[in-house]
Amino acid sequence: MNKNRVQEWKAFVEQVRKGRSLVHHITNNVTMNFLANGVLAAGGSPMMVHDAIEVEDAVAVSDALVLNIGTLEVATAKSMVLAFKKAMHSGVPVVLDPVGVGLSKFRQETVKELLSEYSELKGVSPRTILTICGNAAEMKFLAGLSWEGRGVDGDLDFAEGGLIELAVTAAKRTGCIIVMTGETDVVTDGETVIELSHGHPMLSLVTGTGCFATSMVALYQANQKAGSTTNLSFLERAALAILMLTKAAEEAVQTAKGPGSFQQNLLDELYALETTESIWQGNIHWKEQQSLKEIR
Ligand SMILES: Nc1ncnc2c1ncn2[C@@H]1O[C@H](COP(=O)(O)OP(=O)(O)OP(=O)(O)O)[C@@H](O)[C@H]1O
Ligand SMILES: Cc1ncsc1CCO
């Protein structure tokens, strides 16, 4: 077990939980309230600002930006592009949730525009990081394969090895960090793969837990206040975000009667979860160049 690593992770999680990082969201109107309360419970400060007239001003004061296309509208798609460009030029990390991307040409074109803006900025400094957080159906589309999602949901069955290959292909094709959620979560930049198997199936019975995973990643990748730096990579920070969410879910389910109380408990656990030894025990695997080694 790598104790130093765990100490660094723990210190960073504590930093995030006290940091009140400002996470600007342009997101869907189904889960917006859940995301705002979740970000607050996890130690951040949420801000939902959508209108094109003010999104650039909002990005200018933000520590991270979430773009979620769940209930995409023509006006918000325009806002997203404006906010994205402003974020990229002002060093604000962006996390995109391509909800139901294969559903319509409109969603596909919007995501394509953001990705092509991102790739055009390659080599331009400063250019911050773009992470994409979504389920296997959405990643399948981004990997250049056919869309098999149903509505905005993505119930896809993949063999273990297939999942990793899918996430790696999506990362290589988009040039982004990929966080692929599901029973097993896969976090990869196309080279390194971090696999996490925590959480509970109850997470699928509350709408927006995937959207919230995206918000958590943004909170953990957010710019840190002066004097609160970290050596952790964006990849590791994304994995920590998922770890905290899924570990909180494991606690939340203990006393839940069903999805309603589970959702409430989840907020309480995100707020209270102790970063003791048990958090770091279990199924976190780190793979590099085909070799599997556990980082704890
Ligand atoms: N069967 C499962 N067992 C454990 N954890 C799960 C399971 N399914 C999903 N999760 C967890 O639930 C969270 C949401 O992932 P999921 O893939 O369900 O998102 P999604 O389909 O995009 O959701 P939504 O569209 O409702 O926001 C992730 O943190 C993931 O780890
Ligand atoms: C149900 C639903 N429809 C559009 S967005 C959303 C929330 C889960 O992504």
pLDDT digits (tens, 9 = 90+) for 215-266: 999 999 999 988 787 889 999 999 999 999 999 999 999 999 999 999 999 9
What's the rounded Cα separation, in Å, for the pair 233 and 189? 11
Q: Decide: 202 and 253 in contact? Cβ < 8 Å.
A: yes
For the stretch 262-283, pLDDT in tens is 999 999 999 998 877 777 776 5
Residue 38 token pair: 């979740």
Ligand 2 centre from 70 Cα, in Å? 5
The pLDDT value given to residue 233: 93
Question: How sure is the predictor about 291, in pLDDT bands with cuts at 50, 70 and 90?
Answer: very low
Domain carrying residue 183: 3-294
Question: How sure is the predictor about 66, in pLDDT bands with cuts at 50, 70 and 90?
Answer: very high
Q: Is 135 in the pocket of ligand 1 (CB under 6 A)?
A: yes
Residue type, 20: R
Mean pLDDT throughout 99-119?
A: 96
Residue bearing the CA closest to ligand 1, atom 6: 183
Ligand 1 centre from 133 Cα, in Å? 11
Residue 265 token pair: 């408990």
Mean pLDDT computed over every residue of the chain: 90
For residue 18, the domain's CATH number is 3.40.1190.20
CA distances from 19 to 15, 16, 63, 162, 234 (A): 6, 5, 11, 37, 17
Rounded to two decimals, the ipTM of the complex is 0.98
Helix (H, G, I), strand (E, B) or coil at 5: helix
Helix (H, G, I), strand (E, B) or coil at 80: helix
Question: How sure is the predictor about 7, in pLDDT bands with cuts at 50, 70 and 90?
Answer: confident
The pLDDT value given to residue 296: 37
What's the rounded Cα separation, in Å, for the pair 48 and 66? 9
Which positions ≥6 away from 130 have C-beta within 8 Å?
88, 93, 94, 95, 96, 114, 118, 175, 176, 177
For the residues of 39-59, what is the DSSP string, one character each? Answer: HHHTT-EEEE---TTTHHHHH
Residue 220 token pair: 């953990």
Using CB distances shorter than 6 Å, the residues near ligand 2 are 28, 30-31, 70-71, 99, 152, 207-208, 211
- The tally of domains found in the chain comes to 1
Which positions ≥6 away from 89 have C-beta within 8 Å?
126
pLDDT higher at 155 or 133: 133
What's the rounded Cα separation, in Å, for the pair 284 and 251? 18
